[in-house]
Structure 1
Amino acid sequence: MINLKNLDRENWLLCAKLLLDESQKDYVAPNVYSIAESKVEEHFKKTLTENSS
């Protein structure tokens, strides 16, 4: 089962440390870049509840 949560002070570092399989590294940026984008780019600032509608 997958459990989605918003990033916060408690869990962001665990998310940043997630690694990609070697075969995926050419297709997806490391999580730390996506986390940074979500905090500074306005169009990435939706919450889980906003995305579910």
Structure 2
Amino acid sequence: MTDDKPEYWRWPESRWTAEDIDWREGDIISAGVDVGSVSSQAVIMVDGKLFAY
């Protein structure tokens, strides 16, 4: 038996990458991860510019 009730805690997942930045050419690459009880996020920076999330 399946329950067709909506799950309000779910949301669409997404990702994005800057097409104009080549991470191989960067001097400083840094990443951050936020792990929460309900969701997790990550970000990648190249030379202080947002590269991906």
**Which TM-score applies when normalising by structure 2?**
0.23
Higher gyration radius (CA): 2
- The structure whose residues are more often strand, as a share, is 2
Q: If each structure's helix is expressed as a fraction of its own residues, which one has the higher value?
A: 1
